Copies of this chain bind each other. A is one copy, B any other.
Amino acid sequence: MTATITGASLIGFDDVIGSGGTFRGIDPATGAALEPAFGESGADEVARAAALAWDAFHSYRHTTPEVRAAFLESIADEIEAVAAELSERVQAETGLPAGRVAGETGRTTGQLRLFASVVRDGSWSQARIDPGNPDRTPLPKPDVRQRSVPLGPVAVFGASNFPLAFSVAGGDTASALASGSPVVVKGHPAHPGTSEIVGRAIRAAVRKHELHEGTFSLLVGTSNELGGALVSDPRIRAVGFTGSRRGGLALVELAARREIPIPVYAEMSAVNPVVVLPAALAERGSSIAAGFVTSVTGSAGQLCTKPGLLFVLDGPDVDAFRSVAEEALAGVAAAPMLNPGIAGAYESGVADVLATGVERAAEGVPSETISCAGTASLFVTDGSTFLTDPPLHEEVFGPASVIVRVRDEEQLLEIVDGLEGQLTATIHADEDDHPLAARLVDRLELVAGRVLFNGWPTGVEVGHAMVHGGPFPATSAPATTSVGTRAIERFLRPVAYQDTPDALLPDEIRAGNPLGIFRRVDGLPEQS
């Protein structure tokens, strides 16, 4: 197969070159503009895509689980069929290395296939049956059954830092399509060619399964107005977003101002604190330091879960730990950042940290040749300074992190209690550290969506138990996850059916369990 990039938005089965001017992808390594030019989509294209999606909703939501599962699997197949050209384009548009792109491609197709299995399994429907009892006194007990219905067309905003796994066919799209909701993607303008290749793969799968063309559309453009129009369209019923806090909060506000407000699932920002406890530090400080630097600098630090803060209790082992980390980081060559905007924001973020007077303990190897290079930075400060310097609490998106030497346990707990909502929090602890680790878990589970031990938060495992979420401002919807199978729940709503004739019930809750799914009867798992 040959992937085609034409510069179009994909509105149902139509290729539409937006009429609002043109833009191009940029190779962040060279600064060169890439062919072809893309047409800026605007309000007209949003209205067309949303109308098609709304039309499609009425048939798509009634597709059988098997049809939706096969559709998701076909998207994965279609992506794999163009993997070579896709990889080339992703690298050109994002500067991410081939290995990372291969891994992310696998994660993307893996997510699609995982959601296919979720759809077939059917427990997402939360089917529940409370049988009636006409003889109950003083009033007969009605028969009440519950299942979930999809919300309707979902707007998905592609993320810059996951051009595949959190973009056009990423986790938000996979989970929305799994739920029975059509999807309109606003592709991230930094990787429009990648978006179009993947969009065409989804379209091929739509055709293959003879679904309504409005099941999927892709809009490309650079303006905030495009995204705003999409979120404000009355036919859009939910929003999935991964990106900056400012961008996420703007969408939340727009969605709340609609005549009928809709949920915005925005994964926004985090500094992902790490705490290294004394026994672990003494026992394996060097390997922790090395792992830390790898986690901070991988993908040029452009991961939502990059550890931006590492707390260590001051003591005799800290200097050695610091030295290993500094030496490792000093050897990290600058890598291209995703785009000029992110490279610029990284530079000013680093400057803000420097402006606090905090010591820069190490710097990576700068690049003479890469256009949007991000040079790693490691800062070191102490707990008292951290507590009083707000810029140190903020995410710097890129390969930078801060080691904080904390005076004692009391100061550590004070710091932890003052943390903002986080996607992750990590503890390095050995057996002797467990008493303090237990106190930290107790606090960190209120701060973060995921607490991990003796590892690194980057590299989010996609599974059934994963939570990629967390208290505000990490996300706008702390009760949800955007990675893992429970992500489907974001696009569902429960409906109860009371005393409904069996012939008029949806399959999930009919007598005899025709879909063979997990159900609860009077609250307990149904015995088959």
Residues of A within 8 A of B (CB): 103, 117-118, 121, 123, 126, 128-130, 138-139, 141-142, 144-146, 149, 151-152, 252, 256, 260-261, 263, 421, 429, 434, 437-438, 441, 445-446, 448-455, 459, 461, 463-467, 469, 471-473, 476, 478-479, 481, 485-486, 489, 492-501, 503-504, 518, 520, 522-525
Contacts and interface: CB of A to CB of B under 8 A. Distances in A.
17 contacts: A118-B523, A121-B524, A130-B463, A144-B465, A144-B466, A146-B465, A151-B479, A256-B256, A429-B501, A448-B495, A450-B495, A451-B495, A451-B500, A452-B499, A453-B500, A453-B501, A463-B523
Contacts of A441: 497, 500, 504
Given A465-B128, A498-B455, A523-B121, A493 B479 contact: yes
Given A449-B494, A453-B500, A494-B486, A461 B141 contact: yes
Nearest to A152: B446
Which 7 A-B residue pairings sit nearest by Cβ, starting from the closest? A452-B498, A467-B496, A464-B523, A128-B465, A146-B465, A450-B496, A130-B463
B504 A437 contact: yes
B464 A130 contact: yes
B496 A454 contact: no
A494 B479 contact: yes
A496 B465 contact: yes
Contacts of A438: 504
B130 A522 contact: no
Contacts of A473: 260
Contacts of A448: 495
A455 B151 CA distance: 27
Given A495-B449, A496-B465, A434 B501 contact: yes
A494 B469 contact: yes
A479 B144 contact: no
Contacts of A446: 149, 152
Nearest to A463: B130
A464 B520 contact: yes
A494 B493 CA distance: 18
B130 A452 contact: no
B260 A496 contact: no
Given A121-B524, A451-B500, 4 more contacts: A103-B138, A434-B503, A450-B497, A465-B520
Contact of A525 (B466, B495, B518): B518
A496 B449 contact: yes
A249 to B, nearest CB: 10
Contact of A434 (B453, B481, B485, B504): B504
B452 A497 contact: yes
A129 B484 CA distance: 12
A452 B129 contact: no
Nearest to A431: B501
Contacts of A459: 139
